[in-house]
Chains A and B, each alone.
Chain A
Amino acid sequence: MTVTLPQFDSIKRAIMAVVLAVVAAVCWASPASAQLNVSVTEGHRRPMPIAISDFTGPHGSAISAAVRDNLARSGLFQVQNPDSFLQRDMDVNIAPRFADWRVIKTEALVVGRGGVNAGRLRVEFRLWDVYGESQMLGLEFSSTDENWRRIAHKVSDAIYRRLTGEVGYFDSRVVFVAESGTRKNRIKRLAVMDQDGANPSYLTDGTEQVLNPRFNAQGQQIVYSALTDRGIKLWVVDIESGRKEAVDVPGNMAFAPRFTPDGQSIIFSSDRDGDTDIFIKSLRTGKLTQLTRNPAIDTSPDMSPDGRQIVFTSDRGGSTQIYAMNADGSGVRRLTFGEGRYSTAVWSPKGDLIAFTRQLGGQFQIGVMAADGSDLRILAEAYLVEGPTWSPNGRVIMFQREAGPGQGSSLWTVDVSGTNLRKSPWSAPGSDPGWSAILP
Chain B
Amino acid sequence: MTTALQTQSSNPRHHVKLGLLLVASSLVLTACASTKPAKPPVADTTAPVAANTEAAPTSAPAAPAADTSVSSAPLAPATQSPAYNYNQTNQGATNLSPYANLAEAGDRIFFLTDRFDLTDEARAILTRQAAWIKGNPGKRVIIAGNCDERGTREYNLALGARRASAARDFLTSLGVSADRIETVSYGKERPIDDRPNPEGWAVNRNAQTILLD
Contacts and interface: CB of A to CB of B under 8 A. Distances in A.
Interface of A: 182-184, 186, 188, 209, 211-212, 227, 229-232, 252-253, 255-256, 269, 271, 273-276, 295, 297, 299-300, 313, 320, 343-344, 357, 359, 383-384, 386-387, 405-406, 431-432
Interface SS, B side? mixed
Contacts of A232: 157, 184-185
B41 interface: no
**What range describes how many residues of B lie at the interface?**
35 or more
Given A186-B189, A295-B1, A405-B196, A313 B161 contact: no
Contacts of A313: 152, 154-155
Contact of B157 (A273, A299, A432): A299
Contacts of B184: 229-232, 252-253
Residue with the highest number of chain A CB atoms closer than 10 Å, among B3, B153, B190: B153
Interface in B57-97: none
Contacts, number: 105
Contacts of A300: 152, 154-155
A234 to B, nearest CB: 12
Contacts of B107: none
Contacts of A227: 186-187, 189
B205 to A, nearest CB: 15
Contact of B194 (A184, A188, A297): A184
Nearest to B164: A274
Q: Which 5 A-B pairs have the closest CB atoms?
A: A274-B165, A295-B1, A405-B196, A276-B158, A271-B161
Contacts of B159: 297
B157 A255 contact: yes
Contacts of B166: 274
Contacts of B169: 274
Given A269-B158, A405-B196, A295 B2 contact: yes
B112 interface: no
A320 B182 CA distance: 27
Interface of B: 1-3, 116, 142, 144, 149-155, 157-159, 161-166, 169, 182-187, 189-197
A385 to B, nearest CB: 10
Contact of B191 (A183, A256, A320): A183
B152 to A, nearest CB: 4
Contact of A275 (B1, B157, B182, B187): B1
B181 to A, nearest CB: 11
20 contacts: A188-B189, A212-B154, A229-B142, A232-B184, A269-B154, A271-B158, A273-B183, A274-B3, A274-B161, A274-B163, A274-B164, A274-B165, A274-B183, A297-B155, A299-B157, A313-B152, A313-B154, A320-B155, A344-B154, A432-B153
Contacts of B149: 384
Residue with the highest number of chain A CB atoms closer than 10 Å, among B1, B116, B154, B182: B154
Nearest to A343: B152
A242 to B, nearest CB: 25
Contacts of B187: 211, 227
Given A184-B194, A405-B196, A253 B161 contact: yes
A184 B192 contact: yes
Contacts of B155: 297, 299-300, 313, 320, 343
